[in-house]
Amino acid sequence: MPLSDPSETERILNICAACMYCDGLCPVFPALTGRDDDIAHLANLCHNCRACWYACQYAPPHPFAVNAPAALSRARRQTYADHVWPRILRHGFVQPWLGAGAMLAATLLTFVVLVVAGAPLAPGSGAFYAVIPWGWMAGLATGALVWAGLSLVVSTLRYWRAIAAGPKPVPLSAALRRALSDIVTLRHLDGGGPGCHESQPFSRRRKWFHQAMAGGVMLAFAATLVAAGFEHFFGAQPPFPLASWPVLLGLFGGAGIVVGAAGLLVGEARMDRAPSDAGESQLNVSFLIALELVALSGLALLALRDTPAMGPLLLAHLSLVVGFFVGLPASKAIHAPFRAAALLRAARNEKPKTRSPAEL
Amino acid sequence: MSAPEDIANNVRMEGVLVIGGGFAGLCAAIEARRRGAAVLLAESAPPALRGGHARHARNFRIAHEAPLWHTPGAYPPAEFEADLARISDGGDAVLRRVLIAESAGIAAWLEGCGVRLQAPDVGVLPFSRRTAFLLGGGKAMINALYATAERLGVGVLYDSDIVALAPAPEGGWAVEIAAGAARCRVTARAVVVASGGPGADPAWLRAHFGPNADRVLIRGGAHSNGRLMQKLIESGAGAAGDPASCHMVAVDGRGPEVDGGIVTRITAIPHGLVVDRHGGRVEIIGAAPGKAHYAQWGQRIAQCPQGEASLILDAEGVARSLPSALPPIRRPSLEALAAALEIDAAALAGAVEAFNFDAPRPIVRAPFAAFPMRAGLTFVHFGLAVDADMRLAPNLFAAGMITAPNFFTRSYLAGLGLTLSAVTGRRAGEAAARALV
């Protein structure tokens, strides 16, 4: 059964195209005037700022019952289910709890495997590799990461092929710059200026929390790479001193994730449900909780690494990291490359033509 | 009308009661509150439908001598005055000059109330040197104004019906308000009536627009019914305008009975042929296919049998048309289209043949398409006579479209409704606050 009813989305977007009062809020509405109105593209171009919901003269109780954010949210989840690879992962978007369940199961399984393989549950402190041998740690983490990266790349290429047809008058290099700037600034989360709506009044909170979290993920990733470099080139062994690059990057990254994800979770709790798709909210919440657990366990490990709690905490953190990456391809994480693809697609188009004058 | 003892709540306020939570009422309430008055705003709609006709508005007309960040070019007051004079038979030239002079301050005032405007290089709408565009449209503006009014301490009463309004023995005005099952009597020192003209009152339409009145669709909200205006006229307030003159456009006959707003407008008439329900061609003699064609077609369709007509297009006509909210009825042949419209097939074929004889773009390419049309009423050119302070009687003021016939009496100019509501609303609010001192 489709997640999103294309004829209902079409009905709503027809009304939006005839109205066009929201053409200054985000690029979704101007795109409706050209022939560049493929729903799979628009669904991910929409950043769910909901400015159009509060501005809509045809929102319920009007008989037209226009709810563009909810329709586009459902269509967005449909694009995840339609293009994710391997195909079996589509169930994770049809039933969002399945994706969360997969993360949890992978976490528990990793934990059990590590314990069975001989990782001491007993308290210990000092060298990480005394708790979990290097081969196990590197093998599990790399395997999970490669799986997640491969799946996300293939899924995104499948989605890109679906939306990339049509004329592309803007050269790729210029479009890439514009798309990158749109990703970094999250410009389209501004509702045309004032900010986005968790609930009224609008604010930029969601944008700041999102970028704190996204920046945190990047710093944490950098910490891992730098740590691997230290080991490989300098033969250093973790744990590294507090004032070292891996620890500092990890500390700031972890803090960004903890604060950003917590802020986004609070936003989810306060958010107006009417312009939402319940399935998208479930994807958001389960992803944020999982990421929050990964970051908190990492920070706890850093704080308590010289105490007997280090051993169990290391086990827990590694299991959470592995579970997170195993479940990542069927999680909210997919929205990032899909939205980037939609922004690049939009950036390759020229500004839509202005309409002929009409009496108002 | 209830006897006073039935009324549970008797409120006496030393402030201003604003009746009508549309654009003019909000402007009056905010202006009066900023001048220190205690203000209560009574809106007849529930929160989701608040804001009157302004919910469907998009832009407002402003005089300006030089380009502004939101409105390019210039629209000198003299040009505005000439445009306004073309749609006014008589009327008050002094009031018109007030409107034009004060239109120049609306944009800055709205921005000070948290309302966002749209830059001309954003989006796809053609920019206009005569009007400023609201970012997100009228409802976004209305939301910002309610937020500002509430932050300033204006009390807002939703779902409120005005049952009676009369001079209070102790001075000021006694207003009986029904909000659901609850009743209250508010005695206010000054009252601003900004509750709109009679657009959405079926009884009014039947009385003034003849047998096809029931076939007319209302483009504004169901709550802008003008009943308080009628009560005031019955109790002696001066009327302005012509009760049988209104602004009507061609709208999709499948649209809602009320509240259709902007999107049900049929914009494709220049691309096809209009026929009535008998298949006879409908024309407007001497019509130029210019910008005002919507307004001419509204009146014309209202005069057709049963107040309806159909726009017939071929595939190319559809391709040339702007997007429509409701897709046209499409059929592979003209016969099938006639059947879908319940029009005699031979009559339709004859009308199309006659049309194709001299049409620059004949109707020939299948699939054929049709929009069923009815007249959509925007507003009636009738209201209350006011002076330059928007005064109806001592301490009683009017604002908004209820005062429109003081400024113009025929047709319409894009963006004029909001401009008129802002100027009259602010003036009425200011005058009401002054009346308290």
Domain with A287 in it: 87-347
**Same CATH fold assignment for domains B4-201+385-436 and B249-375:** no
Interface touch A20/B124, C-beta < 8 Å: yes
Looking only at the bridges linking them, the beta strands covering B9-19 and B308-313 are unpaired
Each of the 360 residues of chain A gets a pLDDT tens digit; together they read 578 888 999 999 999 999 999 999 999 999 887 655 689 999 999 999 999 999 999 999 999 999 999 999 999 999 999 999 999 999 999 999 999 999 999 999 999 998 888 766 655 555 777 778 888 888 999 999 999 999 999 999 999 999 987 777 888 889 999 999 999 999 898 888 877 776 667 888 999 999 999 999 999 999 988 988 888 888 877 788 888 999 999 999 999 999 999 999 999 999 899 999 999 999 999 999 999 999 999 999 999 988 888 888 999 999 999 999 999 999 999 999 999 999 999 998 866 655 554 433
Interface touch B263/A18, C-beta < 8 Å: yes
The CA distance from A200 to the nearest CA of chain B, in Å, is 9
Q: Which of B118, B262, B323 sits opposite A24 (nearest CB)?
A: B118
Query: What pLDDT is attached to residue B71?
Result: 96
Q: Does B288 touch chain A (CB under 8 A)?
A: no
A141 contacts A223 by C-beta, under 8 angstroms = no
Tokens of B56: 């469907």
Interface touch B116/A17, C-beta < 8 Å: no
CA distance B132 to A12: 27
Query: Is A125 within the bounds of a domain?
Result: yes
Annotated domain spans of chain B: 4-201+385-436, 249-375
Query: What pLDDT is attached to residue A201?
Result: 73
Place of tokens 């429109």: B404
The backbone torsions φ and ψ at residue B275, rounded to the nearest 5 degrees and listed phi first, read: -125, 155
Query: What pLDDT is attached to residue A358?
Result: 44
Interface touch A193/B135, C-beta < 8 Å: yes
The CA distance from B378 to the nearest CA of chain A, in Å, is 11
Which residues does chain A have within 8 Å of residue B419's beta carbon, measured at their own beta carbons?
none
Interface touch B322/A355, C-beta < 8 Å: yes
- Using only C-alpha atoms, chain A has a radius of gyration, in whole angstroms, of 22
The per-residue pLDDT for range A297-306, each reduced to its tens digit, is 999 999 998 8
| Residues of chain A with a CB closer than 8 angstroms to some CB in chain B | 14-15, 17-25, 29-30, 32-33, 51-52, 54-64, 191-194, 200-201, 352-360
3-state helix, strand, coil in chain B (%, to 5): 35, 25, 40
The CA distance from A355 to the nearest CA of chain B, in Å, is 6
Q: Which of A57, A200, A355 sits opposite B55 (nearest CB)?
A: A57
Q: Which of A21, A33, A64 sits opposite B137 (nearest CB)?
A: A21
Looking only at the bridges linking them, the beta strands covering B160-167 and B217-218 are unpaired
Of B80, B135, B139, B75, nearest to B111 by C-alpha is: B135
The CA distance from B262 to the nearest CA of chain A, in Å, is 6
Query: What pLDDT is attached to residue B437?
Result: 83
CA distance B80 to B66: 14
The per-residue pLDDT for range B117-149, each reduced to its tens digit, is 999 988 888 889 999 999 999 999 999 999 999
What's the topology of domain B4-201+385-436?
Answer: FAD/NAD(P)-binding domain (3.50.50)
Q: Give the residue on A whose Cα is nearest the Cα of B134.
A: A21
Query: What pLDDT is attached to residue B286?
Result: 65
Q: Domain B249-375 is in which class?
A: alpha beta
Interface touch A354/B292, C-beta < 8 Å: no
Backbone φ/ψ region at A49: left (φ over 0), alpha (ψ -120 to 50), beta: alpha
Interface touch B139/A17, C-beta < 8 Å: no
Tokens of B297: 């077609």
Query: Is A320 within the bounds of a domain?
Result: yes
Q: Which residues contact A98 (CB under 8 A, 6 or more apart)?
A: A91, A92, A330
Query: Is A31 within the bounds of a domain?
Result: no
Query: Is A23 within the bounds of a domain?
Result: no
- Number of residue pairs across A and B with CB atoms under 8 Å? 126
The CA distance from A181 to the nearest CA of chain B, in Å, is 18
The backbone torsions φ and ψ at residue A274, rounded to the nearest 5 degrees and listed phi first, read: -55, -45
Q: Give the residue on A whose Cα is nearest the Cα of B328.
A: A14
Interface touch A30/B56, C-beta < 8 Å: no
Which residues does chain A have within 8 Å of residue B140's beta carbon, measured at their own beta carbons?
51, 54-55
Interface touch A354/B125, C-beta < 8 Å: yes
Interface touch B147/A201, C-beta < 8 Å: yes
Please state the pTM of the whole predicted model: 0.93
Q: Give the residue on A whose Cα is nearest the Cα of B122.
A: A24
A43 contacts A79 by C-beta, under 8 angstroms = yes
Q: Which of A15, A30, A57 sits opposite B123 (nearest CB)?
A: A30
CA dihedral A198, A202, A204, A206 (to 10 degrees): 0
The CA distance from A176 to the nearest CA of chain B, in Å, is 21
Interface touch B116/A56, C-beta < 8 Å: no
Q: pLDDT below 70 — which residues of chain B?
A: 1-8, 286-294
The CA distance from A278 to the nearest CA of chain B, in Å, is 22
Query: Is A120 within the bounds of a domain?
Result: yes
The CA distance from A175 to the nearest CA of chain B, in Å, is 18
Interface touch B136/A33, C-beta < 8 Å: no
The CA distance from B123 to the nearest CA of chain A, in Å, is 5
Query: Is A16 within the bounds of a domain?
Result: no
Q: Which of B135, B141, B257, B271 to mutate to test the interface with A (most CBs of A within 10 A)?
A: B135
Tokens of B171: 């001075």
- Average pLDDT score, chain B: 92
Tokens of A272: 């107006």
Query: What pLDDT is attached to residue A319?
Result: 95
Interface touch A64/B324, C-beta < 8 Å: no
B residues 99-128 closer than 8 Å to A (CB): 116, 118-119, 122-128
Q: Which helix (H) or strand (E) holds A333?
A: none
